[in-house]
Structure 1
Amino acid sequence: MSEQTDFAGILEKNEGSILAAWVEGQLSGSTRQGAISDGELKESSRAFLSSFTKAVKSDYNEQLSGEAWQPIRAHLTALSRERVIQGFSPAETATFIFSLKKPLFDLLRKEFGKDSGRLVDEYWKLTQTLDQLGLMTVEAYQNTRQEIIERQQQELLDLTTPVVRLWDSIVALPLIGTLDSERTQVVMESLLDSIVENEAAIAIIDITGVPTVDTLVAQHLLKTVAAARLMGAECIISGIRPQIAQTIVHLGVDLGDVVTKATLAEALKIALRRVGLAVGKIAPAKQDN
């Protein structure tokens, strides 16, 4: 009998006791017992242990390179994704694998305790295997968390670049925060889509919420203006505070023939005139004596 088949047979014979000891170890060492039920933890552990036993029986190698380990990889990827959502840390997630060491080491000691050479070999091979699985778990956790962060960043960009329809054929884009290259692309796409959707002739870009305007920010604004003009819409930039005006002059930035205004209200007045509209006060209604 080969070592590979021998160890797999030991796992199959003792799967119940291994599972019980493993689950108990996870529950006793967990700081987030409320995030996952005991039943869910036991079922996930049982499914993993079953797949682990099959993989060991088929291809017990420390590199985990064979197809027999694919179900293990899939299980750990799914588990890591769930743990990220549940708020587990990378260390807490990796404990799922590392907590399996003790019950398996105890079993090896029981089976090969009288053969020190064999015991050391089995210890070393199992340690390498579980360490690889632990690293795989942490990597899957990090990849999942990065995906979530990137998706949240994109959602935040979308939320911070809303295009508002102010009037027929007039839209406004209030900008808040720093305007970098990535965000400029989102701004352009949002503005151009809104111009098409609303058949807008005037687009007001309000930079009241932009903390500073340097050469790079000014270039991004001009690119956005140029893109809007290609779609047939004229742009007005509002929110030009005294500090920003001084900075633009100091940097020698040429905004060309772009109309600029200090406030959104002033920009809206010009936009209304450009489309043949005006805002005026309503005369107070006469009261009967």
Structure 2
Amino acid sequence: MTAAMRHLASIEHMPCVAHARWNSTLFMISRLLKNHEAVEATLAKQRHKLTLLTTSEWDKLKRLKTLLEPCRYVTELLGGETYVSCSVVLPALRHLMHTMEVSDDDPAYLVKFKTAFSKDLSERQATLNDGWLIVATALDPRFKDLKCLPRGEREGVWNSVAALLQGTPTSATPEPTEEPAKKRSLLLFNSDSESEDEEESNKALSRYSAEPTIGETDCPLQWWSTHAGAHPQLSALARRYLGSPATSVPCERLFSLAGNIVQKKRAALSSENVNRLVCLSNWLKEKKQQK
């Protein structure tokens, strides 16, 4: 308890650590705030030389708890496995950046925290596969208005989607192997068909753009299943992009579960029985969530 109180009392000086441990720091702050009165009442009855948190420091913890709540929501959202998560990455990051914008009313410790958090988040975002995530966001009928992107970048997104419909490589797709010179020369005679393909892809995008957006709680894959007849090319592309998870958390969660099952005393389990136990564990988890 003493170490935790010292850690929390100086948390405004370590924003990068708080960023790296979003949820653990939030849970620690929440637990201490919940037991605020009990902690002080218990320590008041004991002889100690501890430096207790001041009223100002308790207020700082409350402000930081409110600021970290969206971080917990985003980390849990991107780590889900029962819904489409790939197209949620950019809107979620945009929400975090908006939450961490410095305002004139922010005290110095919050300004320092928000500035360091935003800088670290920008550096991490620079390593993402933006090409894939942008196309996935555009093909999600919940976010196809692309409000999470600057206005000047939205037209380029639709150009990338149109290129994918025509089968040309973009930054979101791997580069094809080089074709022989004779085959490449034959492509020069396909100018008429290429213009037709471009016209068809533009029509397909226009029809999709005219569709109304759906609610954030609606399933985009179900929407595409219903509208596959109206958008046959885009529906196939949407299944490809929306089917990928945002993070490796679901896979790591599965490996952790299998690791808890296959232990030293159960090393003789066959692969079939391990699969069955993993499935049973998953079914029991879903059953508990439905109650």
The TM-score normalised by the length of structure 1 is 0.30
- Bigger CA radius of gyration: 1
The TM-score normalised by the length of structure 2 is 0.29
Structure number with the higher strand fraction is 1
Q: Answer 1 or 2: higher relative contact order, Cα 8 Å, separation at least 6.
A: 2
